[in-house]
Amino acid sequence: MTLACRNGRSDSLVLEGRVVAPAQGIDDTLRITVTDGVISAIESGGTGTAGAVVAPAFVDPHVHLRSPGREDEETLRSGTEAAAAGGYCAILAMPNTDPIVDSASVLGALVERAREEAAIPTGFMASISKGQQGEELTEMVELARAGAVAFTDDGKPVTSAGLMRRALQYGALTKFPLALHCEEPSLSRGGHAHEGAVSAELGLGPYPSAAESVMVERDCALAELEHRPIHVMHLSARESVEAVERAQEAGVPATAEVTPHHLVLTDEAVRSLDPNVKMNPPLRSAEDRSALVDALRRGAISCIATDHAPHARHEKDVPFEDAPFGVTGLETAFSALYTHLVLSGQLTLETLLERMSSGPARAFGLDEPRIEVGARANLVVLDLDAEWTVTEEGFRSLSVNSWLLGETLRGRVVQTIADGRVVYAA
Amino acid sequence: MSELRPPAAPRRHLLAIGDLDSVDVERILETARALAASLDREVKKLPTLRGRIVVNLFYESSTRTLASFELAAKRLSADTMSLRSAGSSVDKGESLKDTALTLAAYDPDVIVIRHPSIGAPQLVARNTDAHIVNAGDGKHQHPTQALLDLYTIHAALGRLEGVHVAVVGDVLHSRVARSLVQALRIVGARSTLVGPPTLIPRGIEALGCEVSTDIATIGDADVIYVLRMQAERMAAGEAFVPSLREYTAEFGVTPERVRPGQVVMHPGPMNRGVEIDPRVADSDVALVADQVRAGLVVRMAVLYDLVVERPASASGTTVDVSGEGEFFPALAGSSHGEVS
């Protein structure tokens, strides 16, 4: 597994406060000593400030860094600094760049650049098909040797069932999962909003739940046939959750992720016609949203992924129907979910922290951020009492297409330690 | 608590028919009727909007809507400009936002916009200080069409409350249908959408209408409202019905399907022989020409209402519809419009 970031000195520091590490069964007031980037002591009886929580840092399995090709929207530097500010100690970047990450040379150049620029360890996915055209497989073995951490055609579905089966078969030569953007294009074509009362009233092209769920069903069936792991990305519909759970019960090694915006918003938000609530898959009904929250609670969905998708201002400052899909999320994920799900009693803090850290790390075979003596320090310090307002000026990301602009949130990341280094301090 | 004060009046727009309540609709229709009476009697031009600027910004081809907005503004003595996407800086790739900012520099009072994309009027409203009138945005809304349809129905039947309108055809792609169904609900009328299942959007019942796939149900209605069947919906691989021939056979409005006492409406342009039989289109029960005439006075009323009128709750201003004297509703208390 190759995660790359710029070199630097490991830090030594002491953190005190309420420590919550669900995977290690810790919820206690402790003092954590970090020496040269390694947790060297964990003692009881620290003091710490009220509201302060120390937890394993977050892992985001779904980030668009827009490099190479759209460095006006995000760079490795800006995107990873945004991630550090969001409490992340590792992220995985999508390959739908320009050029597409479909060859060892493009991938190698990215890994090299990450060693110069990335503030936190960053992994790169390679595409499943050449040019993401859905026709020919990429050289998956060579890409894996060059450092790919997984394979995905994210942004586009693998439309051909035959090619998907072949990708699962041939992909067995690598140990990495396929991460799948499930969308049946003949059902989603022209779609701008969830098919339902809101799209009917607004006249927006309907994007039915079935456009996602029939593809989830297909890919689960193929994964079962080939006994290969799949990771289903950005689930949005109740029917898709049910399909993933049926597959998991049948023994298919399928994991799934959900985004903060699908966990918080419904298609009612689209009535504003604000381009910052336009994403693919679209925001769905209240029933879908609660199915996603339930599945996250149960663990059927084990990962929270931002699908951080930066877009240039001028590309989003257009009529809703003309705007591209996607919103940013790295710098707001924890606060948005703490405010909307934890404080409202829909999710415990422990579950939120687990699904933002251990869950995604496990799904992609990454080292889990742990709070134990001898582990590299991957820690986030949170102030649960802090209140802050999301503004354009506050972002480290080069793009400002956030669905939370103007909103006041509770809970804030105050310090992030990634791979033994302090990478963010408020 | 502090005393209650009326909030500062926000800039008023007509972006969607849902921006209006029944009081607003009734006020606009009353104004339109007063204007119609005045135009019948007097010179065709009123000084009401003298010195005001009305810009028509049309990104889609249009005959009747653009013509009636232009004429409406001129009959109210406004200075008008009409810009079309063809032959303008839009051709050179200018964004809608920049076009809006450019127009805003002239400080227009009203911008009337038609655009193929849903959300375009909202974008212009965010970027200018003008009152925005949506003259059609994609498949979303066409509120002045709905108002002129209400005006026409009222003129023909003498009432709106309790009237039953059957809307027939391609509802899925129709901003006219969406606006009309909501408008009918606002005034206490009923609507039933009739068409093949592929052209009725899933979830539309939430607007308070009924849905039927049986053309015979139009027999229950007072008004048959025929929607245009757009040929581009028949593109290869994208066809919503197997053929126009079958559509016409199953859903065309023919003399046999119209019962005595019913009236027939169509927003135009008509596809004779497709969604409407020419014998129906040319018969006395067809109100198509009335709709076009209503379009002029209703759009005059909308311009007047946005620029001059304040919501009744805020000011109590009423329009003089007594029939006495000339129609100069704008002059009282206005710094504009000195008549020379």
CB-based contact A59:A88 (threshold 8 Å): yes
Percent of chain A with pLDDT over 70: 100
Residues of B with CB under 8 A from a CB of A: 95-97, 115, 117-120, 122-123, 137-141, 173, 175, 178, 201-207
Rounded to a whole number of angstroms, the distance from the CA of A319 to the nearest CA of chain B is: 5
Say whether pLDDT at A379 is over 90: yes
In angstroms, the separation between the Cα of residue B219 and the nearest Cα of chain A is: 25
Q: Are strands A58-63 and A52-56 parallel, antiparallel or unpaired?
A: unpaired
Higher per-residue confidence, B213 vs B331: B213
Q: How many Cα atoms occupy the beta-carbon half-sphere of A235 within 13 Å?
A: 35
The minimal CB distance from A203 to the residues B97, B139, B205 is found for B139
- pLDDT per position as a tens digit, B72-130: 999 999 999 999 876 666 667 789 999 999 999 999 999 999 999 999 999 999 999 99
Q: Does A204 touch chain B (CB under 8 A)?
A: yes
Topology alike, domains B17-142+292-315 and B143-291:
yes
pLDDT of A351 reads 98
Q: Is the pLDDT of residue B331 over 90?
A: no
- Domain annotation covers residue A65: yes
User: How far from each other are the two terminal CA atoms of chain A, in whole angstroms?
Assistant: 30
Least confident of A352-361, B231-240, B262-271: B231-240
Inter-chain touch B97–A318, beta carbons under 8 Å: yes
- Number of continuous H segments (helices) and E segments (strands) in chain B: 10, 9
Tens digits of residue pLDDT in A255-311: 999 999 999 999 999 999 999 999 999 999 999 999 999 999 999 999 999 999 999
How confident is the model at residue A232, as a pLDDT?
Answer: 98
- Does the beta-carbon distance from A196 to B202 stay under 8 Å? yes
Residue B5 predicted with pLDDT over 80: no
Q: What beta strand segments (E) does A45-162 contain?
A: 52-56, 58-63, 88-93, 122-126, 148-152
pLDDT tens digits, one per residue of A117-148? 999 999 999 999 999 999 999 999 999 999 99
In chain A, the residue whose alpha carbon lies closest to the alpha carbon of B209 is A201
Chain B residues with CB under 8 Å of A320 CB are 117-119, 122
Q: Which two tokens stand for residue B291?
A: 């709709």
Task: Indicate the domain borders of chain B.
Answer: 17-142+292-315, 143-291
Distance of CA A70 to the CA centre of its chain: 20
In a domain, residue A410? The reply is no
DSSP A339: I
At A178, which helix (H) or strand (E)?
strand A178-180
**B41 vs B161, residue with greater confidence:** B161
CATH number of the domain enclosing A303: 3.20.20.140
Domain residues for A264? 55-369
CA distance to partner chain B, nearest, from residue A323 (Å): 10
Nearest CA in chain B to A274: B119
Nearest residue of B to residue A195, measured between CA atoms: B202
A36 is catalytic: no
In this prediction, residues A28-32 reach a mean pLDDT of: 94
pLDDT of residue B10: 59
pLDDT in tens, B171-212: 999 999 999 999 999 999 999 999 999 999 999 999 999 999
Could you say which of A199, A203, A319 has the minimum Cβ distance to residue B115?
A: A319
Nearest to B95 among A202, A203, A314 (CB): A314
Rounded to the nearest angstrom, the minimum Cα separation between B317 and chain A is 31
User: Considering the domain boundaries, does residue A108 fall inside one?
Assistant: yes
* pLDDT tens digit sequence for A173-218: 998 999 999 999 999 999 999 999 999 999 999 999 999 999 999 9
Percentage of residues of chain B with pLDDT beyond 70: 83
Residue B321 has pLDDT above 60, yes or no: no
Return mean pLDDT, chain B. Answer: 87
pLDDT of residue B7: 45
| pLDDT, position B282 | 97
What's the distance, Cα to Cα, between the start and end of chain B in Å? 50
Helices (H), A232-371: 238-249, 260-264, 286-298, 313-316, 333-337, 349-356, 358-363
Fold of B143-291: Rossmann fold (3.40.50)
Q: How confident is the model at residue B230 (pLDDT cuts 50, 70, 90)?
A: confident
The dotted CATH code for B17-142+292-315 is 3.40.50.1370
For B206, the closest of A200, A275, A319 (CB atoms) is A200
Contacts of B203 in chain A (CB under 8 A): 195-201
* 8 Å CB contact of A319 and B120: yes
Q: So what's the pLDDT on residue B340?
A: 31
Query: Angle, to 10 degrees, between the axis of helix B22-41 and the axis of helix B175-186?
Result: 100
Chain A nearest-CA residue for B200: A200
Kindly provide the ipTM of the predicted complex, given to two decimals: 0.88
> What local confidence, expressed as pLDDT, does residue B40 receive?
81
- Looking from the CA of B218 toward its CB, the CA atoms found within 13 Å total 30
Q: Does an H or E element contain A313, and which?
A: helix A313-316
- Lowest model confidence (mean pLDDT) among A43-52, A91-100, A365-374, B229-238: B229-238
**Which residues in chain B touch residue A203, judged by CB atoms under 8 angstroms apart?**
118, 138-141, 173, 175, 178, 201
Contacts B123 to A, Cβ<8 Å? 317-319
Q: How many domains does chain A have?
A: 1
B327 vs A329, more confident: A329
CA nearest to A239, candidates A267, A209, A260: A209
Q: Coil, helix or strand for B181?
A: helix
CB contact under 8 A, A319 and B123: yes
What does the alpha-carbon distance between residue A380 and residue A338 come to, in Å, rounded to a whole number?
14
